A and B are shown apart, each in its own frame.
Chain A
């Protein structure tokens, strides 16, 4: 390898198995089960063959509804994330295992313990994608119901994450006896209970697990509001961002750099991986054709109408999918039409008026318009293997991102062309690893092993937080 290649910024890839979304194609024989263990195993093993850094599972704690009924048009049904990842740890060696888990509807001690357990079971490959909700509709499945005010989401989540870090660090290092003749199984300092009395919960919990080989689970965060970005800059290791376009990604990187420095952390402490969809083929023309095939299979007449219903705030079953967009303004509604995913835009009236004009000017019917409108919020990479590799080279050179989180549009074979064709192109260009850097997720993401400096110290009867 030349010295020039050594200095190139390397991209990393992750795969996001959402389980519930409108972009996974199911109306075709190639679409396998969304829920069988074999599908998860197939996808994670393909990703590991392609030296992917991470395998993500999504989470939603209530089945989605649309216009007051179970939403029936998209793939649905997913496993408990950590249970599935513990099983996948048995059939993989290097890939990181990322569980999306909600701070609002979990208990800090329980979630921290389970994540620590997954981290040990996987040999230091676990991560937590931190999400938060204030949604009382989801709360109907849980003991506490809708207890959290919208403005408290992030203070609540941050207290939760700080508590989790205290629990993970509470054993210190080298705490278990080295040999059978030791005085006791736990040598060193006996772990103190983590005690917290706060606005949202009071706990007293003695950790049952030591630190893992990567110290503690890697923290991912995806919130994009100013509050969410500051939260990530203070607490997270990786941002799963929505800014996949090159210019947007550069701006986002600068913004996060500033916030990270302000939070007193080194710039490189927070990695950025936007979500992305890849549609690849041997030639540019085939890729474009494939993109239309994918869109046609993602969005049929029913999906197109349901999409517009989210913004119009009402049932549009009389609408002709081959006809024009509705010629009336939306009904403004208090709660989301499709609950558990999309939302009615705050500027629904202006937005839908602009859409009507656009569809009329471009001569698009409902189906054509929605297919044109839909796409990843993050990056979308459509092209030949070489074309996409060249585009990714620009990203690598710019340093705007540390990699991408790919949402495959087909399960379980949706990564095959990325791994078989794109990854080798990236490796040849020196912008993608040819092997795993190490055993742990932190090593493979280029993150430092965290010290236990966050360990709270007891001063008399008072707990003091030391640099969290």
Chain B
């Protein structure tokens, strides 16, 4: 393995609950820590200082079938952390199928404002009977999910652009606070909903938030796809499957405190088995460094799902991250950078900016 590889890959730490393994709470003194925002803030502040580019927060309207049966709202977790962190990107997972698109776009715009332009969105779209029933709607067939995601992403982008950057003018002479020629109706009509617009909030700091969509449901309008594979070898070969920015989903268990990863996993699985479709790494920090040196040059980033946040993510930070950083495989970090710039995305153009003559 050459150490001369260079890439600008991102590391995203998934920080839901107390870890991705359903039995992770067994390592907590108090099981309700899974819902403790102050504890989460400690974890994320550590991740920020140790050099993760972003942190994500899994969420679902459906109650978990494994592990802790509860979870705080992902956008609220991100918003709380937006107020206390300074450089780390914040990626809540939000359902696109049953959430009101107008609320969703407004909430994400708010998160971007609070965090100084560090917000993004990982799209969840399951369309199950259980999730639909929570809001009195029907299940959606798998083949309809991608089109629905595309509609929701498109209307969100339209709402984010519906205030141009210079819409607030505070013009004392004419008594106008707003320049209404810089505000635009979205007039969106999709298959399942319509949104008149404009937004109730100004344009987000980033203009457009980075949107990440599962590869199997990606059609248009996103900035990156998330993909995985049944095992580590297949994850390496799946990296070239399509064009555009691709982020690998990888879960991991590390050796810790003199105990092998395999035996730690066996102990965790004895409490509750870890059912998952993601590629899983089980081994030493050294082995994970070697694996990631192969993977990182092939992808835009890796979303890491640690078995436990307090043990596995901490081991990763201490032993794996510094080694990766020293090999130039990771994108630079800079305080005050927007998530778009961390993702290497250009400044977002406003889709309405050239329409001044058609303005309302």
Contact = CB atoms under 8 A, between A and B. Distances in A.
A88 B178 CA distance: 27
Interface string A61-88: 1110000011111111111101110111
Interface stretch (B31-39, B220-228, B242-250): B31-39
A92 to B, nearest CB: 10
A72 B180 contact: yes
Given A84-B114, A87-B79, A203-B136, A70 B27 contact: no
Interface stretch (A111-119, A153-161, A240-248, A428-436): A111-119
Contact of A87 (B70, B114, B197): B114
List 10 A-B pairs, minimum CB-CB distance, nearest first: A302-B175, A86-B76, A83-B110, A140-B196, A117-B73, A79-B110, A90-B83, A86-B79, A107-B135, A87-B83
B201 A302 contact: no
Interface in A18-76: 26-27, 31, 34-37, 41, 60-63, 69-76
A80 B25 contact: no
B99 interface: yes
B67 interface: yes
Interface of B: 25-32, 34-35, 37, 41, 61, 63-64, 67-73, 75-77, 79-84, 98-103, 106-107, 109-111, 113-114, 116, 133-136, 163, 168, 170, 172, 174-180, 183, 192-202, 360
Interface string A192-209: 000000000111111111
Nearest to A302: B175
Given A84-B79, A203-B134, A72 B114 contact: no
Interface of A: 26-27, 31, 34-37, 41, 60-63, 69-80, 82-84, 86-91, 105-107, 109-110, 113-114, 117-118, 120-121, 140-143, 145, 176-180, 182, 185-186, 191, 201-210, 300-303
A90 B192 CA distance: 37
B177 A73 contact: yes
B177 A176 contact: no
A87 B77 CA distance: 8
Nearest to A145: B194
Nearest to B35: A120
B136 A208 contact: no
A70 B198 contact: yes
Contact of B100 (A37, A82, A89, A107): A107
A79 B201 contact: yes
A106 B103 contact: yes
Contacts of B35: 120, 176, 209-210
Contact of B25 (A72, A185, A207): A185
Contact of B73 (A69, A113, A204): A113
A202 B100 CA distance: 17
A82 B64 CA distance: 24
Nearest to B163: A77
A205 B133 CA distance: 7
Given A36-B113, A62-B196, A73-B177, 8 more contacts: A84-B79, A87-B79, A91-B84, A109-B61, A114-B73, A142-B193, A142-B195, A191-B69
Nearest to A28: B172
B133 A120 contact: no
B337 to A, nearest CB: 17
B198 A63 contact: yes
A72 B133 contact: no
B32 A176 contact: yes
